[in-house]
Structure 1
Amino acid sequence: MTAASDIERIIRETQAAQADAADPSACAWVSANAGTGKTYVLVRRVLRCLLSGAPPDSILCLTFTKAAAAEMSNRLIAELGRWAAAPPESLVESVGELLGRAPDAREIEEARCLFVRVLDAPGGLKIITIHSFCDRVLRRFPLEGGFAPGFSVMTDEEARDALREAAEMALTAGASRADQALGAALKTIAACATEDSFAELLADALRRKAQLGAILQRDDLDDPFQGMSVKLGAALGLSAGDTGEAIRVRQRGVMPASVLAQAADVLTASDKVTDQELGGFFANAAQANAATVHAALAEAFLTRAGEARSDKRFLTQGVRKAHPALVDTLTQARDEFATLERHARAAATVDASVALMRLANAAIQHYEDIKLERGAADYQDLIDKTLSLLTRQSAEWVLYQLDSGVRHVLIDEAQDTNPDQWRIVDRLTQEFFSGDGAAEHPRSVFAVGDEKQSIFGFQGAEPRRFQEMGRSFYERAKGAGGEWRDIPLTLSFRTVSPILRAVDLTFSGVEGLTAGLSEIRHAAHRQGDGGLVELWPTETSAKADKGDAWRPFDDDSSETPPQQRLAIRIADKIKRWLDDGEILASQGRPVRPGDILILLRKREPFARLIIRACQERGIPVSGADRLKLASQMAVLDLLRLGDCLLQPADDLALATVLKGPFFGWSDDDLFVIAHRRAGSLWDALTESPFLNTTVADAAKLLTGWREEAVGRAPYEFFAARLENEGYRKRFLARLGQEAGDALDEFLSLALAYETKAAPSMQGFLHSVRDSAVEVKRDLDQGRDEVRVMTVHGAKGLEANIVFLADTCSTRSRRASAILDIPDATLPPTAPPLLCWGIPAAKTLRSVVAAREAVRLAEANEYRRLLYVAMTRARDRLYITGYEGASGRGDGCWYDLAANALEKHAIKIEADGPTVLRLHEPQVKAVKPHHGATAMKVMGALPDWVADSVQANQNAIFVQPSLANPSVLDGRRTPTGIDRADAALKGVLTHKLLQYLPAMAEHDRFEAATAFLARESDELARDERDAVTASTLAILNNVAFADLWGPNSRAEIAFDLALPASQGGPPTYVSGQIDRLIITDHDVLIVDYKTGRGVPDTVAETPQSYLAQLALYRLAMKNIFPEKTLRAAILWTEKPVLSFIPEDMLDAAAQSLLCCLERPLDASGRGA
């Protein structure tokens, strides 16, 4: 760690480095440790690009995730907004701080206008992911990119389903012998793969479709697989013509028959068992036919591992002395046979590899046909097709058009950019450093990354590429006379000194974090803030008492699984903190659940255990960050409901439903009808309503539901149960709030299913079980809950207190059976050959080297993952773990940390076992904490605050949005889906309901699809399809036909002046009515509500909605005084049109007017 005396110097150096990195006049390559403020630097560089006169749409910032793009955009817009409204002195100060000098008048004027200029820029700021950028490029040049205009991008689930369909088509073609080459390939594969491994093997091959395509395109041959066979054979040590059969023939001829007979006679006559056994093998070989002679010679010459027998185990000393000439002949034959055996295994490996790639290529061709038929692309296509578009000679004009619009390229999380993505960046910036491109406009390339945080190797990221691309851009910039800056950032603004010291100690001398051998050094900006690192003893396995198998585990017993004991230990620790008011020293306040983050390498089995342990102790916990939909209890209950309604004879399904959230039966309730029944459980239920009301009610409901399940679409059926009938509340009460996400996703899946297939219940249930849909939950929402996440999911996040709970296992990802073998005839940058590492290839040198390269890369990424995990912590880091029956894995996280800390930490007794602790007390003064509800005072209030408002002052303006529940002291508006994109879906639905009614019915689907693809590319395709389906269902519903007729109008804006009763200023109301239907005698006001919180009755309509409609009615009364005014809410989720009675609207209007008579506070609420 850095000495305290050097901190001020490091801070000055960091400020200078940040200023250099933000300067757009130079290209910069920034290597930033965790927590050093890379987003801050990125935003400042974009601001300086804009201040220098660069048009907003000439700046391209590529981020790794949509969340990172959103955060950066929000920061940038917020700063520009502050500039737009800042007083002159404040603006001069802010811009001067950014530039590091006094700004001139032009820069101040420019800064003031940037907010509007950015908002008005065509397409807005280009702060997007690489996939979003490629999508934009291909939509701009679809034909050149190989797509039809208006193509769609498949979701991961859709791509997975299409690949599976394509694989089945290829397997069918091979099995039916319609394609002889494919049939032979399938036969070869079947001889080398097991039934269990085949599916994963083929899936692995299909994931490498881009690499396979590049390999097959290298040679201009009628059969490109022949070229693949020759090159892979050469890489494995084979010569031209070395086929498996040819090698076997040569092996059978290593010893003439006469020598075999002589050897058999000599050795069988020996008195040594070893010689006699060997003589028997030779005798068999001399007498065997061609089909079995190889097996006999292999027994004689080779070990079971396939290597040549050692001299000691080959011939005894007696035979060696008595028959030296024969011994020489046999030894030579042994060595030759062993060499040929290696060649034979190499040939078998080549045959198997080519066969697998032939099958995979056939599946890929079917996959491409499926995508072409659907007009779709997958995410990898976006990268591949864009790269092809930018590297094709015939597309130079595309590059010219793109290049003419881009002046500054910024790359965030550059260490996670894979080689193909780097090639796209390389092509985009090709003209930055040459010819007119380098002189016409100032151009720059900027990248920020950290090799130590490269943890996405499974997505193709190679950390060494960060430095390699930096050197490449350096040479190009210098060659063009441009300025280049390599900038390191080591000062952490996030983490306290004890944790950073532990990081430095842990990774001191550890290889693999960076491409070079540079020392890992961190400095803490938060000097004086207290913090600690604790290393807890692991929970170890103990052998259970097999003689008492029926005795349940005791939580405190050593027989309890170690992962469960650890979960209990962590949950108890958190519970004590919350109960005892444990103080977070640096903030001077008690620890809150939201301060705590529990990090895991893999979710199961520990995530489920720690979540349950927290829930049992009443600790607020957010649940898992990802949910596999088909395995969620809430979804399983819904699937079981469908099962028992479609197949009443399924007793297990019905029993599960009766005991689940729908009915909540106990075992005793179930026993009443199940015990001694004559037929199925369904018969017993429906034929025994007289037993009690519980049975009668269940029988009535299930009978009715069974009729609905046959006649209604799956979405309508399940939405009716969860929303209309209120069963969602039962699910949440029983399974926790996280079940709500699973239920929402299940309904979305049901809605999307109806757009792809006939809406049958059986088909939908099968599609859910057959899918691999995951619900990704955003746990960085500021909720005051303990978070449980994987380290990969926590990338970019932080927490005051972090537990590392899964530290004793080592690399768990199953090694791929397909290996990369370098092609020595091509440059190192060329895609390597693909080799299937069948068992026969286990000892081949090239295969061994490839496996070792994979092992080393995984070991390095495993250690980088630990670095990411440790640096998520701000104030406290707790390292612990649980061991399996075989103990800790070699080189595991726990051992890395323990070896580093044991010489530097102190041993203390805490909660029982001895722990190791690195600790620094709080030295810096902490601002007093006054509780979570304390208001932050921004400064002295101005004098005019105390002045009374006079009647002749300007009137008060109120929008309908101010008619909220807090104003009216009513109930809160239903919250709807707890998701970030809920508001966006609502806006999109409003827009579709505004424009689609004016179109012909047969044009609506295409128009809606195109609109959503253009306006909501951040939504997944299935989410866009769900919005389209729900909107069209409303428009096609005959019950709502009058809403879209010739007498209707959309989005009617109005202004209304409400006079004050006591001579005060009028209240002005402005708003916009979603739909207005005007007939000869009446006017119908319709307001759309898109949330899921639909009230069961009109009387339960939230007061805020009633107040809004009341204001609309008051406005329309002035315009249509002689017409009857009616108001209704269209709930788009059901969908249903609820007419609001006049007395309810009158009461809401009276309450609102009374409220508006009271003085309004700063929030718009009545005093």
Structure 2
Amino acid sequence: MNHQQTLIQEDEASRIRALELESFIVEAPAGAGKTELLTQRYLKLLQTVSAPEEIIAITFTNKAAAEMRLRILDSLKLASDGALPPQPHKQITFALAQTALKISAQLGWQLLENPARLRITTIDALCGNLARQMPLLSRFGSQPMMCLDAGLHYQEAARRTLEMLEGDDDFAEVVAETLRHLDNDSAKLTELLVSMLRLRDQWLNHTQQLDAQDGAESALRHLLTQDLAQAARILTPAVQNQLMPLARFAASNLACEEPVALLLDWETPLPVMPEALALWRAVVDLLLTNSGTFRKEKGINKRNGFPAEKVGKEKKAELSRLIEALNTSEESAENLARIRTLPGLQHGDASWQLVATFARLLNLAVAHLWAVFQEVGEVDFIGVAERALQALEDESGATDLAMKLDYRIRHLLVDEFQDTSPTQVELLRRLTRGWQMDDGRTLFCVGDPMQSIYRFRKAEVGLFLQVAQSGIDHIRLTKLKLCRNNRSCPQVVDWINQAFDQAFPAEDSVSRGAIAYRAFVAGKPNVAGKPEADDGGVETHAVIVAADLSKAQAAMQEAIQVANIIEAEQYADPQRSIAVLVRARSHLHALVAEIRRERPHIKFQAVEIEALSGRQSIQDVLALTYALHHRADRVHWLAILRAPWCGLTLADLHVLAADNHQATIWSLMQDEARIANMSADGQTRLAHMREVLAQALAHQGRLRTRRWVEGVWIQLNGPACLWEAGDVRDVQAFFDLISQLEAGSGFSLPALEEQVLKLYAAPDAEADERLQFMTIHKSKGLEFDTVILPGLASDNTQQDQPLLLWEEVSMRDEFAGSVTELVAAPLMPKNKRSNDLPTPYDYLQGLEKERAQNESLRVLYVAATRTERKLHLVGIAKIDDKFEVKTPAAHSHLGYLWPNICAPFMQAAAAFAEQEPAQDTAVPVTGNFIPQLLRLLQVGVPERLANMPSASIFAGNSQKENDTLPDDHLQLEKHTGILAHRYMELIAQSDLNSWTSERLQNLQAAMCHWLLQQGHAQPAAEQAATRVVQALHTTLNSEQGRWVLQPREQAAAEYAVTTALAGNLSTQVIDRTFIEHIENNNKVRWIIDFKSTALEESLSEAELQREAEFHRPQLQRYAALFADEGLPLRTAVFFLMLGKLVEVGI
């Protein structure tokens, strides 16, 4: 029996065993079907209880809870219908559901009619429910609102804590001592307190007991001894005996201040004790380079104590052979290098006193935080969990609620157990406190430790290992293992097994958050003729760039490669689901820019990727909000005068405000003499702004913030400045945010500023959902035909420096048995250190860094296992002057996979070397890029502002019909032309074949709505919208129209060019321009003007030519802009209503 068959047998046996009435912890790899297993377990348990409420299934997200509930209900409905599914695993579920339905009927549960009886909930919802049931014990009293983001409350608590400095009690001295330690940097201390309050569930229990210095020193000694023991397993006594004479020789040739000089009298193997740490460091310095790798022979020289004379050469060769024997794996060097990070034990009482001070300060901050929560009637998730624990257990033991739940709960199922935090495990311990062995109650935990990627939510993968080994209190869980991946094709599964088995740590480590790789087998066999049999697997795409290329340029190169992969995948099979997954949102910026600028035909849905705060429409309404609240906010007042709804030129703004920096902009807007010096156009625009804002400021404080700000925006004609449907959604999200803030603890500008940064564009509803961009964390639990992983070369293991670090250490005591002690270390600024040796804080931070690096590897595993058919790996590698590839950062995703995918990079580097002299490093192509702000200003300044009605926005929500503008024919023609030109631009930027007649017809309502917003009457707007659709339809159905719009070199539509003539700025917008390739490799520049004028179809060619000649002067002005290009110029007019192109000689 081979290894794969063994794994399959283990998988089948585990799935059967998991349905037995025992407590289990199940390891389920990606794609193993754990949701199906949980469903089967739940249905099986329904056969053993007297009420369905006795079973509680716990997940971590609302989405996962909803999915599990739906899966169970679907199984019950399928069983009710009696349709036996063909799949064997579904048949097991079917049989269990049938039995559950019979029990339901016998006991009158009526589960299909009463699905709410299925207790499937998130752990946060469970905590909230527990706190509500015992308001006195939980100390909540009336139930507060849940605060999704308590950042402002943390800041307020930190501010109040620092204010204690002004008092004359012990608390003032605690704050003062902390500030002295941080060089009186109050802003830094505020930031540190805020970050600590976000994680208070991890340290709050510890800060109550940071008074046992002896225990802490014992715990630190235990940790150091463990690391020295790891090194001793590499440097065995036999190895040390070989090393001693070489070390003594090197020490004899070095100055006494060199670390290796300590080994001059080394005669016996080093003791595994922290007291011998200096000698251990000396040995490591002898063997390893400064970067932590084993020394190569050429790196052993007189600087290390091995001179070039004969004896030195012999000793050097001997040491080189010994190092080569030790260099069996990267982990050998890492374990030895770790010795350099170990601190000594002699950090004294001063450091411990600082820990105690910080602990008191943190407890004080928590007290202030609860005061803030009570004042605003809100609480965060940590607070709810804390009160839930209090409701279950107090100083005297289990509470009445715990006893009541102990009677009611018979079975607990926990999904994604690898993502539990210490607080959540403690909740499970208290819920199961009264359970007895063999009393029929069970705990069932399912998870995949290789997919533990939520440390930022306090999840610790070591908890999974601890529970698997020791259980939860007296509850022991039998460990089961699923070994089958039912998602990915065999090519992908085989590659993942090979690559990640090599990349993952060799063994599990609770303290370092390390998980050894668990291999699995493919449960989905290839089928001849299917896509997965033809082109499935893993493909590496090497993006080779010169060493001096900027980060932004390299990212653009990678983005081009990713866009090419997307196009190739969509061409091969338009029905494939494709996901581009990244570690950080910023890794998608270049790709989104490439698609928006060069490939608008690629339509994608981005899940929380594009931040709204950077979009012009949001910046405009945010500036308006700030300006309305603060008249002295000069920057934002100037911004709203520059915004599309007003659009003052820079020259007019200069006249208005340049010579007076003391007065507010609002007061300057009342200065008639100053305004008289502005242009006539500027005076008209400013008059409208002044009228609307005067009414708005008069009503300040009388309305809710949203109604006030949104009303002003509407009266300023803000909606007319939104061109895309996405802009409308974005602005709506902004105003919704204001409403949410008002409904919560109250609106404030600091709260708005913080929350706006967390707004992301909603996925485009019209985009193809088969192409998705998202972070790897968002993709967890999803699957796609094709997965593309760019940004592999980025190293994302950045670390914070909290005020206090701590580590729980489990040790054996000869009297007390197993005990847990705490090591804590304060943040130590560099100027406070007495030497350069590692401190306990450095050591604990090193542990955190190692855990983060281990998690980073697991994040990569999660990304790779999302694919069903094809995995594309895309990474950037730089080459040096010799065209050799530089090794990527060891703890980047590319570094983890490097041993398995380096070959394509070497091949790509060789090809790059041949073509490099011809390459232009100016990667970003901006020749046809039109800045959004410039274009928005062009379309957002309608001339009718002078005639804007002055009806108050505060009179009511409805507007009378006779308040609209007169139906001026010239205005209608103008707006019809704007609309037609805008859609011609959109068509030119996308796939012509996607603009079907049906699509155009569906857009007619939106066109009509926009025309209504411009003030036109309903009949006129409908007629004009019909005409635009007709013009676009005629264009797309004409040979010349499609010729004009097809993609070409340097093609641009609505191309705005700004020039300076006689000191004045002038902007001209060219409807269509491109370069055409003609015979003999020659080129010609085309400049085309669009005309949407309604003309008779019966016009002769001569009459049409005369019509086009009227526009010769305009075409000549456009042509002058390209005079320096040196290409022949051809100009023409395209008549949209006729679908005809008429060339005009210049």
| TM bucket, shorter chain | 0.5 to 0.7
Tell me the residue number matched to 1:443.
Answer: 441
Structure 1 residues 981-992: aligned runs within 5 Å:
none
| 1:705 equivalent in structure 2 | 693
More deviation, 642-651/499-508: 642-651
Q: In the TM superposition, what is the alpha-carbon distance from 1:135 to its structure 2 partner?
A: 0.5
Describe the shift of the 1:153–1:41 C-alpha distance in structure 2 as closer, same or farther (beyond 3 A).
Answer: same
Does the aligned pair in 2 maintain the 1:390–1:398 contact within 8 Å? yes
Tell me whether 139-148 or 849-858 shows the greater mean CA deviation: 849-858
State the alpha-carbon separation in 2 of the partners of residues 600 and 93 from structure 1.
37
**CA distance in 2 between partners of 1:694 and 1:535 (Å):** 57
Matched residue type, 1:614: I
Letter in 1 for 2:583: R
Q: Deviations over 1:715-738 (max 9, x none)?
A: 0133335678873463462xx72x
Q: Deviations over 1:719-767 (max 9, x none)?
A: 335678873463462xx72x55543342123224445688xxxx74343
1:146-198 CA-to-partner distances (Å, cap 9, x unmatched) read: 21033332231xx2212211111111111x14334533542443334574743
| Equivalent-residue separation in structure 2 for 1:914 and 1:577 (angstroms) | 29
Corresponding position of 2:790: 805
Which residue of 404, 407, 410 corresponds with 2:410? 407
Of 776, 785, 788, the match for 1:791 = 776
- Which residue of the other structure, out of 378, 382, 385, is the alignment partner of 1:383? 385
Structure 2: gaps spanning 5 or more residues: 223-254, 258-289, 291-302, 305-342, 509-514, 880-885, 916-953, 959-1008, 1020-1146
Q: Give the letter aligned to residue 711 of structure 2.
A: A
The aligned residue for residue 63 of structure 2 is 67
CA contact (8 A) 2:484 2:520 kept: no
Which of 172, 189, 196 in structure 1 is aligned with 2:179? 189
- Which residue number corresponds to residue 562 of structure 2? 570
Give the deviation of 1:353 after TM superposition.
2.9
Structure 1 position 386, deviation (Å): 2.0
Q: Is the 8 A contact 1:77 1:115 kept in 2?
A: no
CA separation in 2, counterparts of 1:677 and 1:456? 53
Indicate the residue corresponding to 1:637 in structure 2: 620
Select 1:28's aligned residue among 24, 27, 31: 24
Give the Cα–Cα distance (whole angstroms) in 1 for the partners of residues 606 and 911 of structure 2: 26
**Structure 1 residue 570 displacement after superposition:** 1.8
Structure 1 counterpart SS, 2:806: strand
Distance 2:89 2:410 in 1: 24
Q: In structure 2, the residue corresponding to 1:430 is in which secondary structure?
A: coil
Aligned equivalent of 1:520? 519
Matching of residue 653 in structure 1 with residue 636 in structure 2: yes
- Report the AA paired with residue 608 of structure 1: H
Shift of 1:863: 1.1
Matches within 5 A, 1:666-685: 683=668
> Is the contact between residue 803 and residue 877 of structure 1 (CA under 8 Å) also seen in structure 2?
yes
Q: Which residue of 1 aligns with 2:1097?
A: none
Structure 1 counterpart SS, 2:759: strand
Q: 1:398-477 maps to which residues of 2 (within 5 A)?
A: 398-434=401-437, 438-439=438-439, 442-473=440-471
Where do residues 304-453 of structure 1 align in structure 2 (5 Å cutoff)? 346-392=348-394, 393-434=396-437, 438-439=438-439, 442-453=440-451
Q: Does 1:168 align with 2:156?
A: no
Pair 668,173 (structure 1): closer, same or farther in 2 beyond 3 Å: closer
Aligned to 1:286: none
State the match for 1:320 in structure 2: none
1:178 paired to 2:168: yes
Q: What is the deviation of 1:614?
A: 1.6
Cα distance change of structure 1 residues 757 and 838 upon mapping to structure 2, 3 Å threshold? closer
User: Does the CA contact (< 8 Å) of 2:26 and 2:481 recur in 1?
Assistant: yes
User: 1:535 and 2:540 equivalent?
Assistant: yes
SS of 1:807's partner is coil
Distance 2:401 2:669 in 1: 72
Residue 18 (str. 1) matches residue 15 (str. 2): yes
SS of the residue 2:369 aligns to:
helix
1:860 maps to 2:857: no
Secondary structure at 2:111 match in 1: helix
Q: Are residues 1:774 and 2:758 paired?
A: yes
CA distance in 1: counterparts of 2:54 and 2:113, whole angstroms: 14
Q: CA deviation at 1:412?
A: 0.5
Residue type at the aligned position of 1:445 = L
Corresponding position of 1:744: 732
Shift of the 1093–167 alpha-carbon distance from structure 1 to 2, 3 Å rule, reads farther
Secondary structure, aligned partner of 2:189: helix
Q: Deviations over 1:76-111 (max 9, x none)?
A: 223323333x15xx3699999655897899766347
Which of these residues, 471, 487, 509, is aligned with residue 494 of structure 1?
Answer: 487
Quickly say closer, same or farther: Cα 1:651–1:105, change in 2 above 3 A: closer
The CA distance in 1 between the partners of 2:498 and 2:139, in whole Å, is 52
Aligned partner of 2:553 among 552, 561, 564: 561
Structure 1 residues 98 and 1037, CA gap change in structure 2 (3 angstroms): farther
1:125 corresponds to 2:118: yes
SS of structure 1 residue aligned to 2:193: helix
Counterpart AA for 1:215: H
Cα distance between partner residues in 1 of 2:1011 and 2:145? 32
CA deviations on 1:515-560 (whole Å, 9 max, x unpaired) are 264653342414232413122223545437xxxxxxxxxxxxx896
Establish whether residue 730 from structure 1 lines up as the match of residue 721 from structure 2. Answer: yes
SS of structure 2 residue aligned to 1:864: helix
Q: Secondary structure in 2 aligned to 1:147?
A: coil
Deviation of the 1:61 alpha carbon: 0.8
Amino acid in structure 1 at the alignment position of 2:208: Q
C-alpha distance in 2 between matches for 1:571 and 1:672: 47
Per-residue Cα deviation, 1:422-459 (whole angstroms, up to 9, x for no partner): 1211222234434xxx44xx432211101101111232
CA RMSD of aligned residues (A): 4.9
In 1, the alpha carbon distance for the partners of 2:626 and 2:110 equals 58
Q: Tell me how far apart the structure 1 counterparts of residues 390 and 471 of structure 2 sit (CA, whole Å).
A: 21
Aligned to 2:895: 895
- Give the corresponding residue for 2:195: 204
In structure 2, do the counterparts of structure 1 residues 217 and 728 end up closer, same or farther at CA, with 3 Å as the change threshold? same
Distance 1:212 1:53, change over 3 A: closer
TM-score, length basis structure 2: 0.59
Q: Is the 8 A contact 1:451 1:514 kept in 2?
A: no
Q: Distance in 1 between matches of 2:631 and 2:676?
A: 15
* Greater Cα offset, 880-889 or 462-471: 880-889
Offset of residue 844 of structure 1:
4.8
The structural deviation recorded for 1:34 is: 0.7
Alignment of 1:813-962 (within 5 A): 813-817=798-802, 818-822=804-808, 829=820, 832-839=823-830, 840=832, 843-844=837-838, 846-882=840-876, 888-902=888-902
The Cα offsets for residues 555-591 of structure 1, whole Å up to 9 and x where unpaired, read as: xxx896211222233224434555xxx22xxxxx325
Distance 1:591 1:91, change over 3 A: closer
Q: Deviations over 1:776-799 (max 9, x none)?
A: 677699962443322222222222
| 1:611 equivalenced with 2:611 (yes/no) | no
Distance 2:219 2:445 in 1: 37
Separation of aligned partners in 1, 2:12 and 2:125: 33
Provide the residue aligned with 1:922 in structure 2.
Answer: none
Is 807-816 or 396-405 further displaced after alignment?
Answer: 807-816
Q: Deviations over 1:672-702 (max 9, x none)?
A: 9899999998758983599455762454045
Given that 1:499 and 1:876 are in contact with CA atoms closer than 8 Å, whether structure 2 keeps it comes out as yes
Amino acid at match of 1:615: R
Equivalent pairs, count: 776
CA-CA distance at 1:216 after TM superposition? 4.2
AA matched with 1:861: E
Assess if the C-alpha contact under 8 Å between 1:626 and 1:775 holds in 2: no
Counterparts of 2:911 and 2:109 in 1: how far apart (Å)?
58
Aligned AA for 1:358? Answer: R
Whole-Å separation in 2 of the counterparts to 1:741 and 1:231: 58
State the 1:608 CA deviation: 2.2
Cα distance in 2, alignment partners of residues 908 and 1039 from structure 1: 64
Instruction: Provide the secondary structure at the position in 1 that maps to 2:68.
Output: helix
